[in-house]
Structure formats: C-alpha cells, structure tokens
Structure 1
C-alpha cells in the first residue's frame, strides 16, 4: 500500500492476507490511517505553499514548519499502526509498519505500509 502524491493509502485487500485477516478489519484499519492523513494534510499543504512563497526571503527557514508537520503526521500514523498491531494484528502474527522507499517511476520518496508475517511462538516451549 502506498502513500505518495494521492495522499491516501489504497484500501484494496491484498491476496496474501486471505485467510489471515478479515477484509472488513483490513479496510477499517486503512480507513483509520487515511482519516488521520485527511485530518493533517490541509494544514501541511497550507504551510508548504506559504513556505515556498517565502523561501527566497527566509533563506529556506520558512520550510521548517512543513518539515515539523510532516514529521508529526508520520509519528501519528506510526502510533496508530502500533495501536492496530497491539489491538489485533500481533494476535494474528502480523506486524504493520510505515516504511520509506524510492518511487519506481521517479526519484521521489514515498511512504508505504509494510505488512510483515511474524513467526508463530510455539505453545509447548519450556520456560
């Protein structure tokens, strides 16, 4: 699932999760992440426009609010994913995390949600 220029993650159910998690739970989790993005994005865009307009006069310092707001948005999504992991996905031996990677089509970076499969812990393991 990607978060790039469209500013939301795709809610399409991946076939690799079939039989591991209900499609409704998956869509509800993605919906919570997307609502977090939707709430934070308008503020980020306004500061970005203001920062770009004032960039020459402030020698780039006007871009600091944009950087801080982007970091805050990323942290809030990471906290939400951790909550989702603790609520449901760790019990299903899955782990969701936010990761940055290079776009396939250009040199820009994008954030993706990686869903990793955790190894099952043996029930009859001695203490």
Structure 2
C-alpha cells in the first residue's frame, strides 16, 4: 500500500489577493531537493504573480466602480486575467516538474483549497511525493 505525502506552500495576501508564495524551505524536503533549487522555483512563480498582479488590481478597481452600470459584466476582464495567471503558473510548474522535480520523485501543482479561517478558497502549491517503482521486481 502506498501512502502519499503532501506539502502545502501557502500564499501571502495583500488586499485579499495572492501576491506571492512563502519561500521558506520546508524541512520535509531536506535531502530531497536543494534549498537553492526550491527558492529558485518559488521565485519564478512569485515573479509570474508579481508581473500579473498590478494589471489585475487595476481591472478589479475599474470593474468594481463600473459594476452597477454594467450589471457585473465589467468584472469579466478580472476573471479572464486571473484565469490567464493560473494557466501561466500551471505551465511554469509543469516545466519545473519536467526539468527537475519528476527526476527527484516530486510533483508540484497548483491546487485550490478552502481557507481554514473563513469560507473563501485559496490557491496553494501542493508538493506530492511520487511513488518509487520497484524496477527489479518481476512482472
């Protein structure tokens, strides 16, 4: 029987929007991945968020101001930009997985989960330990 270990990397929030992930090295990853590689990977994700956040905030403020006049349709650009940001982070994590983490037996993915303090949803980076396949065992 295989037991799956999970590690969550939580985002930091500013004005209710996720603007970066915590770059503190989890002690569970000691011996699995170098702290420098971990910080580089988290830095790439944070750079992607930092690039897209100012544009999202501008559209959100504009959408909230015009929301009454447009019956909520002014919030569509924000929804599309958030979806584009999530998609770019998914692509970045896939690239990181193929480049390094699958070789180390890890899999990074962006996952949605419910906040503990309220009913809102947040995105976290989930690190899964992949099972090691016994290559010397006969079929």
Indicate conservation of the 8 Å contact 1:55/1:61, yes or no: yes
Tell me the residue number matched to 1:111. 123
Distance in 2 (alpha carbons) for counterparts of 1:117 and 1:93? 6
State the match for 2:105 in structure 1. Answer: 93
1:31 alignment partner in structure 2: 43
Say what the alpha-carbon RMSD is for the aligned residues: 1.2
The structure in which a higher percent of residues are helix is 1
d(CA) in 1 for partners of 2:11 and 2:35?
20
How much has 1:42 moved relative to structure 2?
0.5
Question: Which deviates further from its counterpart, 56-65 or 2-11?
Answer: 2-11
Q: Report the equivalent of 1:78.
A: 90
Larger RCO (CA under 8 A, 6+ residues apart)? 2
Which whole-Å CA distance do the structure 1 matches of 2:101 and 2:12 have between them? Answer: 24
Q: 2:53 aligns with which of 31, 41, 49?
A: 41
Q: Say whether 1:58 aligns with 2:47.
A: no
Counterpart position of 2:5:
none
* Partners of 2:12 and 2:22 within 8 A in 1: no
User: Structure 1: 5+ residue runs without aligned partners?
Assistant: none
TM-score of the aligned structures, taking structure 1 as reference length = 0.95
Identify the residue that residue 120 of structure 1 maps to in structure 2: 132
**Which ranges of 4 or more aligned residues in structure 1 deviate by more than 6 Å?**
none
Asked whether 1:67 is paired with 2:98, we answer: no
